[in-house]
């Protein structure tokens, strides 16, 4: 639950304090973990996030769907890890010092996904979130829960259920790729 492990800069961002003060008055608050993938900023509900880890050695699983990078040992439990770029249909990115594995629980299933870097924990008011416009970014709008506008930032809230939940990872993208 502690994102600072991977985000030394999080506490100092001015936008966070802005957001917090504003969120304090809002009736419908959201608490989000934000991260970036391919230079765009995304967020997921913090309640779904189990933990955030630095990159670790992945064990490849033969003949698994392309976006499944492999499996890791999460304190004795073996969980699959997906590359979010591949899940969005982009080419795989470089792994850097900033790369993180965000471990989430979706519909009772624990899995991890790789992002380019984690920013911060953000409180925002629900009313600044708007439904996704058709062409807001490079990913399928089906995966988008909404878009939050915060000062000059545009934060894309992901729908984890759509992204990983309904089927096992990649069942549909596999069809699309075929």
Partner 1 sequence: MSPFDPEILNDFLTESSELLERMEGDLVALESAPGDPALINQVFRALHTIKGSASFLALAPLVAVSHAAEGALNAARSGLAAIDRAAMDLLLQATDVVKLHMGQLRAGAALTEPDPRLVASLERIANGTAGAAAPATPRERAAPGEAELALPPGKADLLEFLASDLETSLQSMGAALRAGGSDPAFAETCDALARAVDFFECDPLTRTALCLSRVANALSSLDADARSQILPRALALTDLLGLQAGALKRRRLLQLPTDAVVARLDALLQGEPVPDGARVASDAGTDAVLAADAGVADDEPTATTDTPAPPSAAPGATTPSGGAPAAAEQTIRVDVSRLEQLMNLVGELVLQKNRIAALSRRAAQGVEPDLAEAMALAAGSLDRVTADIQLAVMRARMQPLEKLFGRYPRLIRDLAHKTGKQIALVIEGGDTEVDKSVIDELADPLVHLLRNSADHGLESAEERRRAGKHPTGRIRLVASQHADHVRIQVIDDGRGLDRARIQAKAVERGLVAEAHAAQLSDAEVFQFIFLPGFSTVDRVSDLSGRGVGMDVVRTNIQKIKGDIALGSDPGQGTSISITIPLTVAILPAMLVDVAGEIYAIPLSNVTEIVKPEPDHLFTVGRRPVLRLRESVLPLADGMDLFGVARERRAACPFAVVLTSNQQHVGLLVSRPIGQQEIVIKPLDAMDKKNPAAKGPISGATVRDDGGVSLIVDVPELLRRAQAGPPPRAA
Residues of this chain that bind partner 1 (CB under 8 A): 57, 59-65, 68, 70-73, 76-80, 109, 111, 167-171, 174
DSSP string across 66-80 = TTEEEEEEETTEEEE
CA separation for the pair 9, 22 (Å, rounded): 21
CA separation for the pair 112, 89 (Å, rounded): 17
Beta carbon of residue 80, minimum distance to partner 1 (angstroms, whole number): 4
Beta carbon of residue 104, minimum distance to partner 1 (angstroms, whole number): 14
CA separation for the pair 24, 96 (Å, rounded): 35
CA separation for the pair 133, 151 (Å, rounded): 18
Nearer to partner 1, 80 or 148 (CB): 80
Beta carbon of residue 62, minimum distance to partner 1 (angstroms, whole number): 3
Beta carbon of residue 94, minimum distance to partner 1 (angstroms, whole number): 16
Nearer to partner 1, 101 or 122 (CB): 101
Beta carbon of residue 78, minimum distance to partner 1 (angstroms, whole number): 5
SS3 track for 105-165: EECCEEEEEEECEEEEEEEEEHHHEECCCCCCCCCCHHHEEEEEEECCEEEEEECHHHHHH
Nearer to partner 1, 85 or 119 (CB): 85
Nearer to partner 1, 3 or 65 (CB): 65
Nearer to partner 1, 37 or 82 (CB): 82
């Amino acid at each position: 639950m502690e994102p600072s492990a991977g985000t030394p800069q999080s506490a100092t961002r001015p936008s966070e304090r802005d957001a917090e003060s504003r969120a304090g008055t809002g009736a419908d608050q959201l608490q989000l973990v934000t991260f970036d993938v391919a230079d765009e900023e995304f967020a997921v509900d913090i309640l779904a996030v189990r933990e955030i880890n630095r990159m670790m050695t992945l064990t490849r699983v033969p003949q698994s769907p392309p976006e499944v990078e492999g499996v890791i040992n999460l304190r004795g439990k073996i969980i699959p890890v997906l590359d979010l770029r591949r899940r969005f249909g982009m080419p795989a990115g470089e792994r850097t010092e900033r790369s993180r594995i965000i471990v989430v629980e979706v519909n009772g299933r624990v899995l991890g996904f790789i992002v380019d870097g984690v920013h911060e924990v953000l409180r925002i008011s629900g009313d600044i979130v708007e439904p996704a416009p058709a062409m807001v970014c490079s990913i399928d709008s089906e995966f988008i829960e909404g878009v939050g506008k915060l000062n000059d930032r545009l934060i894309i809230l992901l729908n984890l259920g759509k992204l990983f939940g309904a089927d096992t990872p990649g069942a549909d993208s596999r069809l699309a790729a075929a």
